[in-house]
Amino acid sequence: MADSTLSATAMRALVIDDDPFVCDMLKGFLSSDDLSVASALSLKDGLRLAEKDPFDLIFLDVFLPDGDGLEKLDTFLSLPRSPAVIVITGAGDADSAERALYRGAWDYIPKPINARDVTQAAEQALRQREKQRSMVDEKPQAMSSIAGNSPKIKKCIATVLQAAATNANCLIAGETGTGKELFARAIHDSSNRAAWNFVVVDCTNIPENLAESVLSATTRARSRMRGKRAKVCSNRRIKALSSWTKSAIFPSIRKNHFSACCRRNVSGR
């Protein structure tokens, strides 16, 4: 792969696949002066290597002799260097691809594998990691309201930047006063949606009969709310919501769509 896309500091990739041919092929696609590549033929050996030495990028097959690769995805993502994980799926296996992205994989590549898909996914993942590292160290303007420089805070900031780079729904959990809304705003301000308004929606205060129209901007709510809705919403105290309101919220979350009448924040208000 083109080494001009990577930093001067050598990075490390791990390929976990039970097919030696696939491992050798990916090594051939990826190996360069800036990227060293190791391989493992089982989930157990892959975990052992990943826990022993830090990796920046992991290619993980779903169907392995000793287990389902996706079941260990969280383990790989929580390793000290928080590697980007690209999942290798079978041809036409849309279910595994969806599960992989839902669980936090950077991307997925279907078999049969080709050089273009591999190198493009790897370059994008490693480039984003370099960007995240520099932004974590510099603490960008969007993070200025987050106090602290401890390793845990830096890991939270890295997670914020990872979420901001995607269009995935995010659930931020924590006790009252721990800064959930602060981090939600940081995700929004660090994303390519920062030009849109950020609106906090306290769903417990939405009347049941208006929940669907408020969240989806349907019927008359569309004209009343033009320019007021946001691309990012923070929904608090979901457990306290009525079943009716939940039934209105969850389809919006599942479809990643809250309103058809969003407008950019061009006025600054």
In this prediction, residue 195 carries a pLDDT of 73
* Domain that residue 72 falls in: 3-133
Is a pLDDT exceeding 60 seen at residue 216? no
Is residue 144 one of the residues assigned to a domain?
no
Mean pLDDT of 48-54: 92
Mean pLDDT of 164-169: 72
Is a pLDDT exceeding 60 seen at residue 220? no
Is residue 261 one of the residues assigned to a domain?
no
Task: Report the share of the chain in percent with pLDDT over 70.
Answer: 67
Is a pLDDT exceeding 90 seen at residue 194? no
Is residue 141 one of the residues assigned to a domain?
no
Count of structural domains, the chain: 2
Nearest residue to 40 (alpha-carbon basis) of 56, 64, 4: 64
Strand partners, 108: 87
In this prediction, residue 214 carries a pLDDT of 62
Is residue 103 one of the residues assigned to a domain?
yes
**Residue that is last in its domain, among 133, 165, 186:** 133
Cα→Cα distances 212→58, 208, 224, 251, Å: 41, 8, 14, 10
In this prediction, residue 78 carries a pLDDT of 83
Instruction: Please name the residue that has the structure tokens 């939270």.
Output: 156
Is a pLDDT exceeding 90 seen at residue 13? yes
**Residue that is last in its domain, among 77, 104, 133:** 133
**Residue that is last in its domain, among 68, 101, 133:** 133
Is residue 9 one of the residues assigned to a domain?
yes
Is residue 249 one of the residues assigned to a domain?
yes
Cα→Cα distances 48→54, 58, 243, Å: 11, 13, 45
Encode pLDDT of 109-150 as tens digits.
998 999 999 999 999 888 877 766 665 555 556 677 787 878
**d(C-alpha 47, C-alpha 82), whole Å:** 14
- Residue bearing the bigger pLDDT, 265 or 18: 18
Mean pLDDT of 21-45: 93
**d(C-alpha 247, C-alpha 171), whole Å:** 18
